[in-house]
Structure 1
């Protein structure tokens, strides 16, 4: 996603633009933020194509991840499961997803009557009526390789590329272990804002603050002490709390810069 998908998406958006835009203003939540940061820090996305970015609950290092569901799910060797079943899609509605949920719920540390909170943290303000309308499609499926990579990050606590094993790492990376992504490699030419929550068990405050401290620039920072991971999407007052700040941030920067 970081190496190919996101650069291709942004290239398509700019090439299809009827307004002559040369840059995008990017908003990413969770893995949307992770893909963006990895793409730029890894040298895959040209910095000149992005004017500014506002990242919500960004996931990078997982050294302080406290989600018991994520920790239990990470114990599964998803790569081995793929080789045995030839199943490449991860969904809570297929056999692999059911295995992950069953494994997590077998832990005495996890209250599966509130699986959402056990995974993302105690969200303070989710609009239940709105969220209920999304349940048939939430969460969307992902690739098994993506989930396997997430599992590697949970187990190591580190923000680095996919671990293919000793031999394949040498063939792909010319070293025995996968390279780290480094926050200091994020281009300082892109104006950056970051919002994170004090109750988030996936994008833990300590991990977000570590990332911010290692950047070559000083981003705009919004700390929401009562927010957990999904409040940034589904909180009743997220428009007033966060989204108006996103629009103001981009407007203050100058949306017209994208056309220069």
Structure 2
């Protein structure tokens, strides 16, 4: 059944690609700034440069529209997943958007954007038009992007630490950061990880089952040819969302199948009214290497650094195999939130993560009671505030 849906979704995407304009347009009317302003909240844009030259845009909601500026606030930092952006946290509006919920609860809310996505397509010396810009993967987001953004936030606000909330790749890059750069132990008060992705050997995604055997092998070709951009955001995608995915559109079922393909089939929590905005902002673009690294995790069953093949691995790591990430050595308070119907963070893999983590560090592992809750429902599920975000907020307050 999943194969049939997979093929139908792929044919639909191919039809859209042929029917709509192909040029990339970054001036989309659906942006994090436009969405936040639409709902009456203050919004700021901040740019920070990483130590390897990427210029990243962060979005900040400094205070709630219900209070106005009310003095210094504790900081919460939200980090998006693969092919996503800061828009994830505001698409659902004030009632269910996590950024708004935190703002109304008294937090200074910062939303990150990883290199290469819609809002972070600049570099001190490289152009995204050319291949060298795209020579990165999510390991680099963990060791360069997260430190640069969090150091900037803490310096600007004067706060000693922050609360971290990540979804999907935002959890993977968190594990990378805390495995590789131990100084952040004192800078993260607690971490709240939605749909945590580390080990992926039991991932159920049809995309992984199809692409994993082909693209999840040790990739020595990257050294020769480099990486490239994968699924950039475009005006065509925004048009697709507004025309083909709106309520009452006969083709909306195809849009839902695309989302189910990404996150898990047949979730009853999918907010179909929100699909046009989701499709207008997602995918937000990434590097092909990010995809390859995840497929390597699926193939190997290990949570480890990028596998270039034995020859370059020896040069890069001093061993023919890439090193594992030191999840056991992390010493930051961590809260996990996971579900049964998640194609990317399977129950078996999350259980391995739980057993590997330092028991003193793992403060909570919350398995969603909603059996059909999927990977994307952590962002846009119906009634998500009552179902999940109230719990996350309570955990942060008590951390």
Q: Deviations over 1:45-64 (max 9, x none)?
A: 52111000110000011121
Please name the residue that 1:237 is paired with.
383
| Separation in structure 2 between the aligned mates of residue 159 and residue 37 of structure 1, nearest angstrom | 10
Q: Which residue of 1 aligns with 2:263?
A: 120
1:65 paired to 2:209: no
Q: Which has the larger radius of gyration?
A: 2
- TM-score, normalised to structure 1's length? 0.81
Partner secondary structure for residue 46 of structure 1: helix
1:28–1:54 contact (8 Å) kept in structure 2? yes
Match of 1:29 among 161, 164, 167: 167
Residue 22 of structure 1 and its aligned partner are, at CA, apart by: 1.1
Contact in 2 for aligned 1:82/1:88 (Cα 8 Å): no
Query: What value does the CA root-mean-square deviation take over the aligned residues?
Result: 2.5
Q: Given that residues 220 and 309 in structure 2 are in contact (C-alpha distance below 8 angstroms), is that contact kept between their aligned partners in structure 1?
A: no
Which residue number in structure 1 is paired with residue 302 of structure 2?
Answer: 158
Match of 2:60 in 1: none
Q: Tell me whether 1:202 sits opposite 2:344 in the alignment.
A: yes
Paired with 1:251 and 1:34, the residues of 2 have a C-alpha distance of 24
Q: CA deviation at 1:116?
A: 2.6
Query: Residues 164-209 of structure 1, C-alpha deviation per residue, up to 9 Å, x if partnerless?
Result: 221221222111110011321111xx22111001111110011111
Tell me what 2:273 maps to.
129
Normalised TM-score (structure 2):
0.54
**Runs of at least 5 residues in structure 2 that lack an aligned partner in the other structure:** 1-140, 235-253
1:87–1:172 distance in 2 versus 1, CA, 3 Å: closer
**Aligned partner (choices 182, 195, 198) of residue 326 of structure 2:** 182
**Deviation for aligned residue 1:81:** 7.9
Question: Is residue 25–residue 52 contact of structure 1 (8 Å, CA) maintained in 2?
Answer: yes
Tell me, in whole angstroms, the C-alpha distance in 1 between the residues paired with 2:203 and 2:197. Answer: 10
Separation in 2, partners of 1:41, 1:252: 25
Structure 1: 5+ residue stretches without partners:
95-110, 254-260
| Residue number among 154, 175, 184 corresponding to 1:14 in the alignment | 154
In structure 1, distance between residues paired with 2:319 and 2:356 = 24
Alpha carbons 1:14, 1:21 under 8 Å: kept: yes
Greater shift in the superposed pair: 194-203 or 113-122: 113-122
| Distance of aligned partners of 1:226 and 1:175 in 2 relative to their CA distance in 1, 3 Å threshold | same
Give the structure 2 partner of residue 171 of structure 1.
315
